Amino acid sequence: MTPVPPPLPQPMLLLIDAGNTRIKWALARRGAALGVWSASGAVAHADLNHLPASWNHAVIERALVANVAGQRLRDQLQLMIPTTAIDWFASSASMDGMRNRYRNPAQLGCDRFAAALGARALEPGRAIIVATCGTATTIDAVSAAGDFLGGMILPGLGLMAASLARNTAQLPQVDAGRELPAGFADNTDDAILSGCLAAQAGAIERAFALHGAATCIISGGAAPFIAPQLAVPHRMVDNIVLTGLQRAAYASDTTTG
């Protein structure tokens, strides 16, 4: 019997969300459902050189990158990504049926635009608040008709707690991931964290009411701590920016194909 050759490796789409603190990535097979990755991970900027080892097993057909961390990181990624078919994602006046109502559409952070695309794809036809909770917390509104209306930016949970501890005499540094007791805090560390969480959740809830939203998509490293504080309908989604990039890649394939 003639031996059957092993199947050829399937080409992959490499998605990268290069943020101010970490670089998140995912590999997706062509046509995979949104948010379904063959592999994914994240590294701090200091560990950037470890990224190529995460991808060397894959045949990467195309890469789509959202970078908000500056030209130097872009140049480093350019050298590391094992394909010449690299698209640097940017905000535009419209994409995939979503209209960007920012006063200057190109000024909108590409990560916020991607997150909105991903949220809209997951909750089509609904008024949505998209909250991404990382180094900064961004809170954006997408209408049921598909208009990106704009949003809010505030310090992220960790940055807010660190700033308060650093700039206020005799207040200690606290870990933004510490367990928070129910009710009012009876010690200073918990009082700092309780206040910061209330500020984060309160901003999201204010945006939700202002928009008349049907639901909130919340994502980012601090989302597991903030989401339980929310008193509005919400859905926690890992890596909403990568989901939006995947959606943008599929929309681009449809347009060019």
- Calpha distance 87→66 (Å, rounded): 9
Containing 80, the helix (H) or strand (E) segment is helix 71-80
pLDDT at 149 over 50: yes
Q: Which two tokens stand for residue 134?
A: 């990382």
**In which band, very low, low, confident or very high, does the pLDDT at 192 lie, cut at 50, 70 and 90?**
confident
Can you give the pLDDT at residue 245?
Answer: 98
Residues designated as active site = 111
Which amino acid belongs to residue 13? L
Q: pLDDT, tens digit, for every residue of 81-129?
A: 998 999 999 999 999 999 999 999 999 999 999 999 999 999 999 999 9
Class of domain 11-88: alpha beta
pLDDT at 255 over 60: no
Domain boundaries, the chain: 11-88, 94-244
Options 3.30.420.40, 3.40.50.460, 3.30.365.10, 3.40.50.2300; CATH of 94-244: 3.30.420.40
**Contact indicator for 190, 181 with CB cutoff of 8 Å:** yes
Radius of gyration of the chain (CA): 20
**In which band, very low, low, confident or very high, does the pLDDT at 257 lie, cut at 50, 70 and 90?**
very low
**Contact indicator for 24, 16 with CB cutoff of 8 Å:** yes
| Domain 11-88 matches domain 94-244 at the CATH topology level | yes
Helix axes 188-211, 157-167, angle to 10 degrees: 130
- Calpha distance 206→114 (Å, rounded): 23
Q: Which of 247, 221, 240 is nearest to 28 (CA)?
A: 247
